[in-house]
Amino acid sequence: MSARRTLLPALFLLTGMALPAGAQITAREYADRRAALAAKLEDGVFVARGAVEPVQDYLSFFQSPGFLYLTGYKEANASLLMTKRGSSVSWTLFVERKDPAVEVWSGRRNGVDGARAMTGLPSRLNTEFAAALDSTLASSNRLFVLADIAEGGDTLNGDNLFVARLAREHPKVRILGANQAVALMRAKKSAAEMDLIGRAAAISLDAHREAARALRPGMNEFEIQALLEYTFRRNGADRPAYASIVGSGANATTLHYNRDDRFMKDGELLLIDAGAAYGGYASDLTRTFPVSGTFSPEQREIYTIVRAAQAAAERQARVGASARAMSDSASHVLASGLTRLGLIEGPGATFDCGSDGAPKRCSQLGLFYMHGLGHGIGLEVHDPDQYYFTGRIDIGSAFSIEPGIYIRENLLELVPRTPANESYRAALRSVLPKYSGIGVRIEDNYVVTENGLEWISCVPRELDEVEAMMRDKANAPEARNAERVEWYRTVGAPPAEAGVGKSLPRPQTCTLPKM
């Protein structure tokens, strides 16, 4: 899934390499996370509130990522309270009361005893949370809040109102955010987290293969969307990690197109950006397929540039390397390729994008490639990674690489009619008809272990491999994958039971081709 620029960033060969062990996160790991957070914070009180139960049409409930990271608790309307005074640290989980009458409608609740058994945390009823918090704040002048904040900045569970009320009722208490501290912790993935990301990617690559083999002219985008999401859930995924992007023709040039409702035509491309979430962890995978099964010469030209840009970024991705080098390498390849095709005037070329009284120059490359190279992946599809804070890739990093080229049909409207732009507009008018409406993105997922960079989303992506895969047509989904479903027996276990019982085969990684 394409990231905004502010979020830095041969047939594949299956190998015997496996991601580190740990298909489920243990209660011990959650406890270690809480201890690490407590060590980072000054004396005071810490609060994290989980997601609230949906009220509309009994929608599925999914826990807030930060709350899940610290507790592993997946029930609605829970809160976590910590008090710290010197070396004395205490944690309490507040949860819903068991209520058989309510459970008839919305399912079994854990209750206080069940929550304690599942998490190892001292637990109380959530009706006691407000009084407990007020009591602790009476003897403390500092409160840290882990707010449930969406990528755009809005709170998702009313944390803004919660904090405003506390500020009014406890004016002497200094209220501080804990989101940055937790983001720094989440940026480095544990072995268990990388394992879950690998399983999410494995299910996603199955879904993309199914889609490629089913694709035919005349199908609607929603048919492919349905097949993708069916494959996710059939194999034990929680849900799509984000709204599936299934865009054909000109829709492939819209970055976050998710209407997924258009009949596809022979000669067009279909861009699929869809990934499963598994055990709470996201994958993010994009492939671009020819609807007919064969790329046109113009489509091959654009696809070749994008794939070369991705390969250039992969060569820079190694332990200790600068993440900026990945982005710079990919951008250079994209700009050089677009220059060869006549779509931009040179790798560093700009155009006049200012207004009267406010002159400004913009990158010509940005007309065709307007998002960042990639982003971290984890509990959220755009998750923090270590390189956001250090600028460098390190063991425990998990991220995507996703260059793209998008040649919108109305691209000329983005280049103002000014004297400075006259020659560039003339060049575009000449070359755009050849490539107009082509959108290509290729996105893969990677984790960094002691073995170095590991590619975990190995759907065929070289031109000839893609066409070969699509020649192997399928009229129905593949037979049930019993091993994939068996994974879920361990992943679905509560934290207190994680690691108990037989171990599961690890998702395989793939050898990166040398380019």
Supply the DSSP symbol for 110: -
Alpha-carbon Rg for the chain in angstroms: 25
Predicted pLDDT at 503? 58
Nearest to 262 by CA among 221, 294, 293: 221
Predicted pLDDT at 504? 61
pLDDT at 23 over 60: no
The amino acid at 471: R
3-state secondary structure of 156: coil
Q: With bands split at pLDDT 50, 70 and 90, how would you rate the model's confidence at 153?
A: low
pLDDT at 356 over 90: no
Two tokens at 107? 């399912």
* Across 5-25, average pLDDT: 41
Helices (H), 72-152: 100-106, 111-119, 129-137
pTM, full prediction: 0.93
* Across 154-161, average pLDDT: 83
Element (H, E) at 345: none
pLDDT at 505 over 70: no
CA distances from 21 to 198, 291, 503 (A): 11, 39, 9
Two tokens at 75? 């029930």
Predicted pLDDT at 498? 60
Two tokens at 504? 């599961």
Structure-token match 């400004």, residue found: 360
Nearest to 119 by CA among 82, 68, 76: 68
Supply the angle between the helices 191-214 and 482-491 in degrees, to the nearest 10. 150
Predicted pLDDT at 304? 98
The percentage of the chain sitting over the pLDDT mark of 90, rounded to a whole number, equals 81
Asked if residue 243 lies in contact with residue 228, where contact means CB atoms within 8 angstroms, the answer is: no
pLDDT (tens digit per residue) in 290-308: 999 999 999 999 999 999 9
CA distances from 465 to 8, 54, 293 (A): 30, 44, 11
Q: With bands split at pLDDT 50, 70 and 90, how would you rate the model's confidence at 1?
A: confident
Element (H, E) at 471: helix 463-471
* Across 237-256, average pLDDT: 97
Predicted pLDDT at 13? 29
Mean of all residue pLDDT scores within the chain: 91
Nearest to 434 by CA among 342, 511, 499, 361: 342
Element (H, E) at 452: strand 452-455
* Across 60-82, average pLDDT: 96
Output 56 or 123, whichever has higher pLDDT: 123
pLDDT at 463 over 80: yes
The number of CA neighbours under 13 Å toward the Cβ of 372 is 18
Domain 13-19+186-509: top CATH class? alpha beta
CA 230-231-236 angle, to 5 degrees, is 100
Query: How many C-beta atoms surround the C-beta of residue 323 within 10 A?
Result: 24
pLDDT at 113 over 70: yes
Asked if residue 25 lies in contact with residue 498, where contact means CB atoms within 8 angstroms, the answer is: yes
Residues pairing with 400 in the sheet:
445
Q: Where are the domains of the chain?
A: 13-19+186-509, 42-177
pLDDT (tens digit per residue) in 176-185: 999 999 999 9
CA distances from 153 to 68, 112, 160 (A): 19, 32, 11
Structure-token match 């989303």, residue found: 457
The number of CA neighbours under 13 Å toward the Cβ of 355 is 1
Predicted pLDDT at 16? 34
pLDDT at 68 over 60: yes
The percentage of the chain sitting over the pLDDT mark of 70, rounded to a whole number, equals 91
**Annotation: CATH topology of 42-177:** Creatine Amidinohydrolase; Chain A, domain 1 (3.40.350)
The amino acid at 503: S
pLDDT at 365 over 50: yes
Output 497 or 101, whichever has higher pLDDT: 101
Task: Concatenate the DSSP letters of all residues of 303-333 into one string.
Answer: HHHHHHHHHHHHHH-STT-BHHHHHHHHHHH
